[in-house]
Amino acid sequence: MTEQLITYEHYRESHWNGFTPDAEDQTKGAQDIIDYAYGSYGDSLVYACSFGAESMVLIDLISKVKPDAKLVFLDTDLHFQETYDLIDQVKEKYPQLQIEMKRPELTLEEQSEQHGSALWKRNPDQCCYIRKIKPLEEVLNGATAWISGLRREQSPSRANTEFFNKDNRFKSVKVCPLIYWTHDDVWDYIRSNNLPYNPLHDQNYPSIGCIPCTKPVEQGGDERSGRWTNFNKTECGLHTT
């Protein structure tokens, strides 16, 4: 266990970076990281939750440590109804969680007036900035660290993710407890613990975002290939600089 609190300003290659969990640790280090994160950062730690499959695992693990943890969902006003229904299920299962539905400054109508209709079809980067990145910047203002469900297996851009990462985008520390988990690990945990999940996952949607920018993936395809199809884009920008 590292003795010095990991902060953005004093970030160094930490004790946890390069740490390989014990083979007998069924959570592959995730529970240790979550325990340390909440024990160290307390209420200044924010979980930016997408309510994807990885989110359900993290919510369950976090609830064992901090039942009243703060979760933030970036509500773009463009999510699937199944996603909103899942959030209601989570609220019922984990009633102490503090779930904030963070919406962008611009409504869809105002965005259309200022930037033209269906901005996501012409400039998805700008749409993501308005509806996701800027709202998270507001949420993380003053937060020492935030939790993300990134896994190394998900895509080449995530292959080098560490447990603790210096996040230059949000001037914070990004904590990623699930970096060693595989797709099968996630689903084994969900099923063995009877956790709720988005039914779209059963319809070949491994990664679920906004309706206009999320498509099903062919069997065996890259998990992120259903996002922003026809664009050279696999990330909304939350995890890139």
pLDDT at 221: 59
Whole-model pTM: value is: 0.88
Q: Which tokens hold the place of 56?
A: 């359900």
**Residue 23's pLDDT band (cuts 50, 70, 90):** confident
Query: What mean pLDDT is predicted for residues 140-145?
Result: 87
Among 146, 144, 178, residue whose Cα is nearest residue 161: 178
Active site (annotated) includes residue 236: yes
- On the question of pLDDT at 237 being above 50, the answer is no
The verdict on whether residue 49 carries a ligand-binding annotation is no
- On the question of pLDDT at 167 being above 60, the answer is yes
* Lowest-confidence pick of 132-141, 185-194, 196-205: 132-141
pLDDT at 58: 98
DSSP the chain: --SS---STT--S-SSTT----TT-TTTTHHHHHHHHHHHHGGGEEEE---SHHHHHHHHHHHHH-TT-EEEEE--S-B-HHHHHHHHHHHHHSTT-EEEEE--SS-HHHHHHHH-S-HHHH-HHHHHIIIIIHHHHHHHTT-SEEE----GGG-GGGTT--SEEEETTTTEEEE-TTTT--HHHHHHHHHHTT----GGGGGT-SS--BGGGB----TT--TTTTBSTTSS----STT--
d(CA 111, CA 189): 40
Q: Looking at 236, 238, 240, 241, which residue is catalytic?
A: 236
Token pair 């200022």 is at which residue?
A: 114
Q: Is 159 or 191 the better-scoring residue by pLDDT?
A: 191
d(CA 17, CA 4): 14
pLDDT at 85: 98
pLDDT at 20: 83
- On the question of pLDDT at 234 being above 90, the answer is no
Tens of pLDDT, residue by residue over 29-39, are 999 999 999 99
- On the question of pLDDT at 14 being above 80, the answer is no
d(CA 15, CA 158): 20
Q: Which tokens hold the place of 147?
A: 């939790």
- On the question of pLDDT at 222 being above 70, the answer is no
The verdict on whether residue 176 carries a ligand-binding annotation is no
Query: What mean pLDDT is predicted for residues 159-184?
Result: 92
Tens of pLDDT, residue by residue over 66-96, are 999 999 999 999 999 999 999 999 999 999 9
* Lowest-confidence pick of 58-67, 84-93, 179-188, 224-233: 224-233
Question: What average pLDDT does the structure give for the chain?
Answer: 89
Query: What mean pLDDT is predicted for residues 46-51?
Result: 94
The verdict on whether residue 210 carries a ligand-binding annotation is yes
pLDDT at 2: 52
